[in-house]
Amino acid sequence: MYTSLTKTILFVGGGSGGHLFPGIAVAEKLRLHAKNCRIVFFVTTKRIDAKIIQQTPYTWYTCPTIPFPKRRNLTNCTSFAQKFAMGLWKSEHVLRMTRPSCVVSLGGFGAFAAVILAILHKVPHVHLEGNAIAGKVVRYLCPWSNAVFCHYENCFGVLQDKIVWSGLPIRSNIFKEMKLSTTFTILVMGGSQGATFMEENVLRSLRHLTKSRHKISFIHIAGKKSQRSVVAQYKKFGFRAKVYSFVSHMKDIYRETDLAISRAGASTIAEVTALGIPTILVPFAKAADNHQYENSLYMEKRNATIVMEEKELTPESIAQKIVYLTNNRQKLSRMSFAAKKIAKPHGATIVSDYIVKNFLGS
């Protein structure tokens, strides 16, 4: 086991905001409650990771990574083996350099090599798992972990004795104040995967909502490439809209939101339930193991959302749901109440307390 006089917590993994933001939330708590703790992030080479982590005060390194190949031909397997070998080498270097007291896996394939080495070197490690169906890295490696902090009480694929039902950690800066505007505001956010299909249908629904444009406004988080075309669509149909390519501080966005139309990613669900924001969730059909559908189904069964699968998604169907909800404030209030009832807003505190108690003692 690596030893160190300086207590370092190494956060590994990434590939999306949904992976990184829970880790940053835990890091925030550790900075407050463990003054002798050094935080280091070991993230993927994806641009989104650098964009997010550069806005934090933490030291960070990158790890070459590639998912397990879906088509296991010679070319794909060779490419995976090469990248994985590079990932192992870089992970070994970072672990020797940082000598962590604990490794925190944020999920995604960027965590795989580092956690493998943590197991081999007997470095304590924990996983953060926000989905109803655990990701492959968690499923494969959880038998050797100290704990798996889950958003759902019964997370499929995780050994029951490893589960700590904490809720997925969320950033403290997302908690909103009272809304000031009287306009009904709809937040559209597609997430980092498969956003285009959902967004296109929302934009095409505008022609069916023109009678309501005087009382509806939009906030739309679009990709950088599509930002101009999205702005043009809202202008074409006369809707007030704020369109962003990327938002790092969601507090002001959530403050204005009356209804969110979103993918069913783990971090999004953790945040909107904590804030009691009613949602229309469109699970990404190609998400691994269809986990987004399971995430959204959990909420729908508890009356906290309306789920629209991609196969039923049309401009007309979205417009119908928007009109129904904008004219049914009682339904929105019930959804908001139900969302808050299933929320687990203290995940970051639970995880950080566990780390301090078990790995940062003298």
Domains of the chain by range and CATH?
A: 7-170+345-359 (3.40.50.2000), 173-342 (3.40.50.2000)
Count of beta carbons in the 10 Å neighbourhood of residue 88: 18
Strands laid side by side in the 184-189 sheet: 240-244, 216-221, 184-189, 259-262, 279-281, 305-307
pLDDT at 175: 77
Establish whether 99 is an annotated binding residue: no
* 226 belongs to an annotated ligand binding site: no
**What pLDDT does residue 176 have?**
63
pLDDT score, position 194 = 44
CB atoms within 10 A of CB 196: 13
Q: How far apart are CA 14 and CA 253, in angstroms?
A: 23
101 contact partners, CB below 8 Å, separation of at least 6? 4, 7, 8, 9, 124, 359, 360
17 assigned ligand-binding residue: yes
Report phi then psi at 347, rounded to 5: -60, -40
Query: What 8-state DSSP symbol labels residue 156?
Result: B
Residue 163 has phi, psi (to 5 degrees) of -75, 130
131 is in an annotated binding site: yes
171 appears as a binding residue in the annotation: yes
Q: Is there a contact between 156 and 132 (Cβ–Cβ < 8 Å)? A: yes
Low-confidence spans in the chain with pLDDT less than 50: 1-4, 193-194
| Residue 4: per-residue pLDDT | 45
d(CA 334, CA 305): 10
C-alpha torsion sign, points 106, 60, 272, 191: negative
Contact indicator for 131, 266 with CB cutoff of 8 Å: yes
Tell me the three state secondary structure of residue 145.
Answer: coil
How far apart are the C-alpha atoms of 201 and 333, rounded to whole Å? 26
Name residues whose C-beta falls within 8 Å of residue 175's C-beta, 6 or more positions apart in sequence: 251, 274, 275
What is residue 2's predicted lDDT score, i.e. its pLDDT?
41
Residue 320, marked binder: no
Q: Is 18 annotated as a binding residue?
A: yes
Read off the pLDDT of residues 193-207 as tens digits, 9 standing for 90 and up: 445 789 999 999 999
How far separated are the first and last CA of the chain, in Å rounded? 17
